[in-house]
């Protein structure tokens, strides 16, 4: 059995969401793939295909394992453990899990949440148990909390429910209808501009010190209000760029991110950094009439480009 799981981007409202304002996140078709099959014996074998790493465990160990001792395997292991414990299963047959991912890591696209949610779906199906999305999202959130100590529902919820979510006070609301239809018609580029120089927590702490941050967050919220009424790509792109300008005032952008956003503005409908900032990714709304020039300009910048669409 093979299960493909999306990743996510924040369209608007990163950092503001930490202070009780809303953010809009979107599931995208940059995916991770998890394959599971039963094997003879009483072992669990995990293969991280992209990293060329494998781990073998005895089935008896999984229910009480401390996943934080297992480096790159930790999200997958924690997801297996929590799913088996939640479903109250006594695992008797061994299995092998193969994980591959197209999602760049540590740049705000929810690569670990994608693996986590994918593993929960795969393992529960393997045991012929049908979990509801609410249960999957909750289990995913618990995994992130166990591994990171602290977690936001943004990644695990967006990746579980797909489509567009409004996040506020660690709760979400799915946005459907016209806005979702509009975004479905949009083509985006995710541009991995540069490695992040700082961790999310560090950037959040730096933003906390900015005196007029509330003023900025209120303006971002207004952008969100306007974006939800839009079904015009040109206007939507301009709102993305406006959000980027405000994020610059929070000092979380970098010259490289600004350069890529500038290219996105000149050859696309608009662009902004996405996620915590300090490097990482830019999201560009593609203007198909100028897509070739956009790609040509971006290719001069030593960046990684991922074409993507909303997935629901």
Return the range that interacts with ligand PMV (CB under 6 A); candidates 13-21, 49-57, 233-241, 259-267.
Answer: 13-21
Q: Does 147 bind ligand PMV (CB under 6 A)?
A: no
Q: Which of 155, 221, 231, 258 is catalytic?
A: 155
Cα gap 304→298, rounded to integer Å: 9
Known catalytic residue at 155: yes
DSSP string, 60-118: GGGGG--GGGSGGGHHHHHHHHHHHHHTT----SEEEEEEEE-SPSSSSS-HHHHHHHH
Per DSSP (E only), the strands in 150-291 are 164-168, 171-175, 188-194, 268-274, 280-286
The CA angle 50-310-278, to the nearest 5 degrees, is 65
Instruction: Kindly state the smallest distance separating residue 10's Cβ from ligand PMV, in Å.
Output: 6
Binding status of residue 243 toward ligand PMV by CB under 6 A? no
Q: Give the range of 10-18, 139-147, 181-189, 298-306 binding ligand PMV by CB under 6 A.
A: 10-18
Q: Is 67 in the site for ligand PMV (CB under 6 A)?
A: no
Under 8 Å between Cβ of 204 and 188: no
Applying CB under 6 A, among 3, 276, 308, 310 the residue interacting with ligand PMV is 276
Helix axes 133-148, 111-126, angle to 10 degrees: 130
Single residue of 62, 89, 204, 210 touching ligand PMV by CB under 6 A: 204
Contacts of 265 (CB under 8 A, 6+ apart): 237, 241, 271
Report CA 301 to chain centroid distance, whole Å: 24
Among 4, 18, 70, 245, binds ligand PMV (CB under 6 A): 18
Residue 303's SS3 state is coil
# residues contacting ligand PMV (CB under 6 A) = 11
Spatial contact of 36 and 1, defined as CB atoms under 8 Å apart: yes
Residue 15 binds ligand PMV, judged by CB under 6 A: yes
Per-residue x/- track, 104-143, ligand PMV (CB under 6 A): ----x-----------------------------------
Among 9, 11, 17, 137, binds ligand PMV (CB under 6 A): 17
| Cβ nearer to ligand PMV, comparing 1 with 105 | 105
Residue with tokens 């924040």: 10
In whole angstroms, how close is the CB of 162 to ligand PMV at the nearest point?
Answer: 17
Q: Which of residues 154-173 bind ligand PMV (CB under 6 A)?
A: 154
Q: Which is nearer to ligand PMV, 168 or 290 (CB)?
A: 168
**124 among the known binding-site residues?**
no
Q: Are the CB atoms for 298 and 191 separated by under 8 Å?
A: yes
Q: H-helix or E-strand containing 4?
A: strand 2-12
Which residues contribute to the site for ligand PMV (CB under 6 A)? 14-15, 17-18, 108, 152, 154, 200, 204, 275-276
Annotated binding site for ATP: 104-114
| Active site amino acids | 155
Annotated binding site: 104-114
């Amino acid at each position: 059995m093979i299960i493909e799981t999306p990743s996510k981007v924040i369209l608007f409202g990163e950092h503001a969401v930490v202070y009780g304002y809303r953010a809009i996140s979107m599931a995208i078709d940059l995916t991770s793939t998890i394959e599971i099959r039963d094997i003879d014996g009483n072992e669990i074998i995990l293969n991280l295909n992209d990293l060329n790493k494998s781990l073998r465990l005895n089935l008896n160990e999984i229910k009480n394992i401390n996943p934080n001792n297992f480096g790159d395997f930790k999200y997958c292991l924690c997801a297996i453990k929590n799913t088996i414990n939640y479903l109250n299963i006594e695992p008797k047959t061994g299995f092998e899990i193969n994980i591959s991912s197209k999602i760049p890591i540590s740049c705000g696209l929810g690569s670990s949440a994608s693996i986590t949610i994918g593993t929960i779906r795969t393992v529960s199906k393997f045991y012929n148990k049908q979990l509801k999305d609410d249960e999957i999202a909750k289990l995913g959130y618990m995994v992130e909390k166990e591994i990171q100590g602290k977690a936001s529902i943004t990644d695990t919820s967006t990746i579980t429910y797909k489509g567009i979510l409004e996040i506020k006070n660690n709760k979400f609301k799915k946005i459907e209808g016209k806005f979702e239809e509009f975004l479905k018609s949009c083509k985006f580029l995710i541009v991995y501009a540069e490695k992040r120089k700082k961790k999310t927590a560090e950037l959040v702490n730096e933003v906390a010190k900015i005196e007029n941050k509330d003023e900025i967050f209120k303006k971002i919220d207004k952008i969100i209000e306007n974006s939800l009424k839009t079904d015009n790509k040109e206007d939507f792109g301009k709102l993305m760029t406006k959000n980027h300008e405000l994020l610059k005032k929070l000092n979380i952008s970098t010259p490289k991110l600004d350069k890529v956003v500038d290219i996105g503005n000149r050859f696309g409908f608009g662009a902004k950094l996405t996620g915590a900032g300090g490097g990482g990714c830019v999201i560009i709304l593609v203007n198909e009439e100028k897509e070739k020039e956009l790609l040509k300009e971006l290719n001069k910048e030593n960046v990684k480009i991922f074409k993507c669409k909303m997935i629901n």
